[in-house]
Structure 1
Amino acid sequence: MWKERRLLALVICLVLAGGLTAAVVGASRSAGPHAGATAGGPAASDYVDIRDVPPAPPVAPATPADPGGGSPGSMVVDCGRNERMHYNEDNLVVSPGLRSGAHHTHSYVGNLSTDAMSTDDSLAAAATSCAGGDRSTYYWPVLRRLDRPGTRPHERSAGHGNTGEIVPETTVRVEFRGNPVSKVVAMPPFLRAMTGDAVARTARSDAHVRARWGCSGSPDRSTTRYPRCPDGDRVTRTLTFPSCWNGLDTASAGHRSHLLFPGGNGVCPSDTFPVPELRVSLAYAVPAGVPVAIDSFPEQRHSPRTDHAMFVNAMTGPQMTAVVDCLNEGRSCRT
């Protein structure tokens, strides 16, 4: 009898130990690479004091292969800062024709009609927030305050863990830049483009992580984490798009092969041509110490590394020609 009781006790201990081990392993797996994340929110490691981010080292300017061969100009397109409150959960570039296909909320400037059902013809006929008449669409996931609940319809509609008050952009700078070593050619009409990786948290590498975060008072410091800025500084967010076109397609599977990034020396990969480089710079008034996060898919837990943005070129031929001429001639232009 004593031996039987001892054996029974041993079996119970083994069962309890196995259950505890499974629970620990399961919790570890669900935490993923961001240990400490709770209830699907960002982890503590997703935030950094900007003062702990080292300044970027100076970058030597690229040298064109031929004298005068670069395109050092810039064109700023004034499209406002989404004063019209154009928000939806669609993604025309990634999931056209699918309502709420993004599962999170995007903020838009430019074309005022953009949604999942937009077509090239509808974009070309729509109104725009851009002062010079550019009907292109520019959009990105919203930034939210996590200390306040969202109460407006566009704040509550996304679901999937995307909650909180949307922080409006205080400034939106849409800028096209040239290539440091080559002249640029025109983008084709209705070119689709994407930068960043919406599933970077669970991806095998950070190869497609592109967004840079910072604080307005420290322009020489940038990070892939949410910055904690000094009181009075604005949180900044910069999204740069690929600018080497294959000369054939306006879109591609995965949105990665028809437009590529140039190398560190500015040279485009083989069989691609430099087009104007789009850079979208955003700024937000966030009180010091207030936690923020971008919208994301649930399993991405609002990681700042998942930041991304999309663009569809709906400029007219003369508008795109003006951009190309400005960049190739080395001028600073605004429209």
Structure 2
Amino acid sequence: MGRNTRKRRTPLATKAIAASAALALGGGGLIWANFYASAHESHNQTWGGNQTKAATAQVATISCPDVQQKLTNVPWRARQGVATELANLDKQITEAYTRLASTRDAQAKDPNFVQNAIVGPLKEKRAATIDRIRIDIERVGGSFDNAIKQLAACTTQSANQTTAGGNGDGQQQNGGGEQQNTGGQQQGGQQQGNAGQNIGGQAGNGPVAADFVDITKVAPNVLSKPNKTPNASTGTFTTRCGVNANKNHNTDNVIVAPGVTNGAHHLHDYVGNQKVNAFSSNQTFLQGGTSCQNRNDLSAYYWPVVRVQDGSQDFDQNADGGGKEGNVGKILTPVQAQIKYVGSPASKVVAMPQFLRIITGDAKTTTNGLANANAHWSCTGFENKVQLTQQYPICPQGSKVVRTFAFQSCWDGQNIDSANHRTHVAFADPASGVCPNGFKAIPQLTMRLVYNITPPTIQNGQVKNAYAVDGFPEQLHKPATDHDDFISVTTGGLANRIANCINNGQNCA
């Protein structure tokens, strides 16, 4: 259970990170330069005095260590209690960020306000919650690493630490302060800050201009796939489950926060299993029905929705996980959702176990950094050339936005889940396609979501008609936070049929 704690990137993820370097030579550099200048100009108008210093120094968001990733060995009898406390940690961060965003005037007057009124009290709450996690684990005979107690303290990040740069990942960063919310209340779907400016997205917490790039200006960064060995499994199995046209949504996440309403703090699209929420169980999955054409595919496929921020509202404008937590704008339904299982270039695959859970990507890369990022953004006509992790693409006329996910394809052969929801599965080596020692190749789930989005424009350093993936409010709607969730549920021998199809080199549906 403690194995494989270091994330192995898929080939796509490796290539996508490399795009950041290419942006310096493409159109992104100009966008960032203009954004940087305009951010200072807007703050000069708003704050008065030495505004350049104020703009870059202003706190953009709160960064808290991810306790869940350190919990690699939690006894099963303690997992429900621990999951509830982990959800409490997320709720505490959300509440602290909300307070951060609504007290800009107080912060301007008192340089110690954030530490004394927000970050300090947050540390105390987190320390108490972490101690309850310790009690839950030790009560059932488990061992608790006391070093985890040191994760109670949170820090703050300014704009140059968050803008299209991750968390100290060595990539280009923008020093402008545009993404800060200047305070104020939402009115008519627009965040009204000082001087009525709309800074950092429709809800005041992103995206910003530097989060977008003209894909035609990005150098190609997609590398070749590993060579296939004679034992490769070359088939594919496609399952057709629709695009969530029936709008099956909720803000729960039964994998990471079972039994907790609004555990995700953002809205998900669901296809496949139709009865997935925080209170679902393996038994209810089997009774949930499916949107898939293959009625034996009861698997749950779910991902954060994408919204367009053009001033519009949607049904959850005043709801938890929606507008109340910074996820605003019109929800976009994909025009295409392709779900395909593929094989391994190095070996045959074994069937997926019933109720296997996999999460790919990291919803908290703005504060965690990019170690577990697995976001891929591109445009139709460019997918074999450019994949982006840290920026949303601005697609040319006639091209559509594409989100691609390539899930972990190696399984430890024993567990359908793990305490941190990562260590029971792994990525194959990107160069050879070989699984880590002790892991078996399973059919790799790949997903391709296509959206018809009017291209955003950058005007005077600000993005107009932006689109963004839903996320935790303190994550500022960064593209790298994109992620996807999956629970394998099949009947009628479907799991074996998928594996056999792939192993036999067939293309099945």
Same fold (TM over 0.5): yes
Structure 2 unaligned regions, length at least 5: 1-48, 61-156, 164-175, 180-199, 457-464
Amino acid at match of 2:304: P
Report how far residue 92 of structure 1 moved. 1.1
> What are the superposed Cα offsets for residues 281-318 of structure 1, whole Å, 9 maximum, x if unpaired?
10001012231001111110000000001000001251
Asked if structure 2 preserves the Cα contact closer than 8 Å seen for 1:193 and 1:241, the reply is yes
What corresponds to 1:78 in structure 2?
240
Amino acid at match of 2:279: M
SS of match in other structure, 1:320: helix
What corresponds to 2:392 in structure 1?
226
Report how far residue 93 of structure 1 moved. 1.1
Please report the TM-score for the alignment, with normalisation by the length of structure 1: 0.88
Distance 1:151 1:162 in 2: 10
Report how far residue 57 of structure 1 moved. 4.7
- Counterparts of 1:244-323 in structure 2, within 5 Å, are 244-264=410-430, 265-289=432-456, 290-316=465-491, 318-323=493-498
SS of match in other structure, 2:436: coil
Distance 2:225 2:313 in 1: 45
Tell me: higher relative CO, structure 1 or 2? Use CA pairs within 8 A at least 6 residues apart.
1
Amino acid at match of 1:33: T
- The structure whose Rg is larger is 1
> What are the superposed Cα offsets for residues 121-158 of structure 1, whole Å, 9 maximum, x if unpaired?
00011210000011000000000001132232488552
Distance 2:475 2:355 in 1: 30
- 2:388 paired with 1:201: no
> What are the superposed Cα offsets for residues 1-57 of structure 1, whole Å, 9 maximum, x if unpaired?
xxxxxxxxxxxxxxxx9xx97886344734232143232111222111110222235
Distance 1:48 1:23 in 2: 23
Distance 2:248 2:318 in 1: 12
SS of match in other structure, 1:174: strand
What corresponds to 1:56 in structure 2?
221
- Match 1:142 to one of 305, 310, 315: 305
What corresponds to 1:103 in structure 2?
265
> What are the superposed Cα offsets for residues 204-227 of structure 1, whole Å, 9 maximum, x if unpaired?
x31211121111122222211110
SS of match in other structure, 2:313: coil
SS of match in other structure, 1:48: strand
What corresponds to 1:4 in structure 2?
none
Greater shift after overlay, 172-181 or 54-63? 54-63
Amino acid at match of 1:255: H
- Match 1:216 to one of 372, 380, 383: 380
Distance 1:155 1:142 in 2: 17
Distance 1:314 1:322 in 2: 13
- 2:330 paired with 1:165: yes
- Match 2:207 to one of 11, 33, 42: 42
The sequence identity of aligned pairs, in percent, is 39
Inter-CA distance 57–167: structure 2 relative to 1 (3 Å threshold):
closer
Asked if structure 2 preserves the Cα contact closer than 8 Å seen for 1:143 and 1:166, the reply is yes
Distance 1:240 1:146 in 2: 27
Asked if structure 2 preserves the Cα contact closer than 8 Å seen for 1:232 and 1:287, the reply is no
- Match 2:499 to one of 315, 320, 324: 324
- Off by >6 Å, runs of 4+ in structure 1: 20-23
Amino acid at match of 2:410: C
Asked if structure 2 preserves the Cα contact closer than 8 Å seen for 1:88 and 1:115, the reply is yes
Asked if structure 2 preserves the Cα contact closer than 8 Å seen for 1:87 and 1:154, the reply is no
- 2:347 paired with 1:178: no
Distance 2:382 2:53 in 1: 46
Report how far residue 249 of structure 1 moved. 0.6
Please report the TM-score for the alignment, with normalisation by the length of structure 2: 0.59
Distance 1:304 1:22 in 2: 26
Asked if structure 2 preserves the Cα contact closer than 8 Å seen for 1:198 and 1:308, the reply is yes
Report how far residue 188 of structure 1 moved. 0.8
Report how far residue 59 of structure 1 moved. 1.1
What corresponds to 2:356 in structure 1?
191
Structure 1 unaligned regions, length at least 5: 1-16
| CA RMSD across the alignment | 2.2
Distance 1:178 1:121 in 2: 29
Asked if structure 1 preserves the Cα contact closer than 8 Å seen for 2:56 and 2:158, the reply is no
Distance 1:33 1:286 in 2: 25
